[in-house]
Amino acid sequence: TRPVLLDCDPGIDDMVAILTAVASPEVELVGVTTVGGNVGIDTTTRNALDVLALAGRADIPVARGADRPYLRSLDSRAASVHGDNGLGGITLPTSGTAPVDATALELIVATVRAATEPVTLVATGPLTNVAHLFAVHPDVASRLARLVVMGGSIGAGNRTPAAEFNIWADPEAAYRVLTEPGLPRPVPTTLVGLDVTYRTAYGPDDLRRLRSGGGVASLCADALEHYLSAYRRDHGMDVVPLHDPLAMAEAIRPGLVTARPAYVEVDTTTGPSRGNTLVDLRGVLGQPTVEVAVDVDVPSALEFISGRLEFRQG
């Protein structure tokens, strides 16, 4: 089993990513770190703890990370998409468990140093904690087996016409991680963006099927139902993209997405393109820094995620 760390901002689809990870025998989820994103840090941390307890995995350490972006302030979150409680209004049993007495950065550093094999880091929120890791402990970051990031888009954004939410919420952090990593050894990084997550989506029938699984699967269906209404309202879509679960699924089963090397320039200006990921697949602007997902095996990805959720009947 390969060790995996998840840095997240639960978040409806972050919750589904956590549940996918703990139901996967190929990997061991060795820690969860939180970041302010969809909702504030108190709520994302509480949600991470409660989701793990729900899955019977309160033993997995949770560490609280950055609430504020790397550089600039954040004037809005995504409660209109994820609900005020971050989980689409569903109520999880209150676990009463607490985060460990370490920051997200400290937990990531300690876990990577202690691991007997290289750790895969999956990031499904704004990249603030990961940017701090790159800036403060480049030697530790260099030891990662792989970094899988849900974020960005070759095409249009979802938060603004130009920007996907996770990158928009902290473009300076994303610049540090994706455009100028500056590590002693570059970390193989895969950017799983909207181009593939929009295609990996559940429709109303999929949600009905998921709900009939009972337990954890049906809780996910309820939360995703809320997510679906937001995507209907904001984007006129009748499906709900599985953004974060797809990034996690790719980390667990590499090859679900097809990725190509690219130079990615994150827009850190304060204009209308702030948070845009300019993906240069031809190497015109610079040497490739990361791999960008350009295609996904949709049936396999959906089957993979559904299978894991239904297996976890709770």
Residue ranges that bind Ca ion, judged by CB under 5 A: 9, 11, 14, 124-125, 244
Omega before 275 cis (within 30°)? Answer: no
87 interacts with ligand BDR by CB under 6 A: no
C-beta of residue 273 within 8 angstroms of C-beta of residue 163: yes
Binds ligand BDR by CB under 6 A, chosen from 120, 166, 189, 218: 166
Using the Cα atoms of residue 249, residue 254, residue 258 and residue 264 in order, give the sign of their dihedral.
positive
Cβ-proximal residues to 171 (8 Å cutoff; 6+ apart), any chain: 163, 266, 267, 268, 274, 275
C-beta of residue 168 within 8 angstroms of C-beta of residue 81: no
Q: Which amino acid is at 46?
A: R
Only segment of 65-73, 109-117, 161-169, 266-274 that touches ligand BDR (CB under 6 A): 161-169
CB of residue 168 vs ligand BDR: minimum separation in angstroms? 9
123 interacts with ligand BDR by CB under 6 A: no
Kindly state the helix (H) or strand (E) to which residue 208 belongs, with its residue range.
Answer: helix 204-212
Q: CA of 258: how far to CAs of 19, 28, 82, 268, 292, in Å? A: 24, 24, 29, 27, 8
164 interacts with ligand BDR by CB under 6 A: yes
Cβ-proximal residues to 110 (8 Å cutoff; 6+ apart), any chain: 102
CB of residue 11 vs Ca ion: minimum separation in angstroms? 4
Instruction: Say how far apart CA 283 and CA 71 lie, in whole Å.
Output: 28
Q: Tell me the residue length of the chain.
A: 314
Nearest position to ligand BDR, beta carbon:
165
Per partner kind, with CB cut-offs from 5 to 8 A, the member of ligand BDR, Ca ion, none near residue 83 is none
Binds ligand BDR by CB under 6 A, chosen from 2, 243, 274, 312: 243
Of the pair 195, 291, the CB lying nearest ligand BDR is at 195
Of the pair 140, 251, the CB lying nearest Ca ion is at 251
Residue in the block written with tokens 């140093």:
113
11 interacts with ligand BDR by CB under 6 A: yes
Per partner kind, with CB cut-offs from 5 to 8 A, the member of ligand BDR, Ca ion, none near residue 158 is ligand BDR
Of the pair 19, 140, the CB lying nearest ligand BDR is at 19
**Four-point Cα dihedral 120, 201, 40, 230, nearest 10:** 170
244 interacts with ligand BDR by CB under 6 A: yes
Binds ligand BDR by CB under 6 A, chosen from 14, 265, 267, 291: 14
Of the pair 150, 301, the CB lying nearest ligand BDR is at 150
C-beta of residue 236 within 8 angstroms of C-beta of residue 128: no
Reply yes or no on whether 243 is catalytic.
yes
Rg (CA), the chain: 17
13 interacts with ligand BDR by CB under 6 A: yes
206 interacts with ligand BDR by CB under 6 A: no
Alpha-carbon 273 to chain mean position: 22
250 interacts with ligand BDR by CB under 6 A: no
Interacting residues with ligand BDR (CB under 6 A): 11, 13-14, 38, 78, 81, 124, 150, 158, 164-166, 243-244
Annotated catalytic residues are: 243
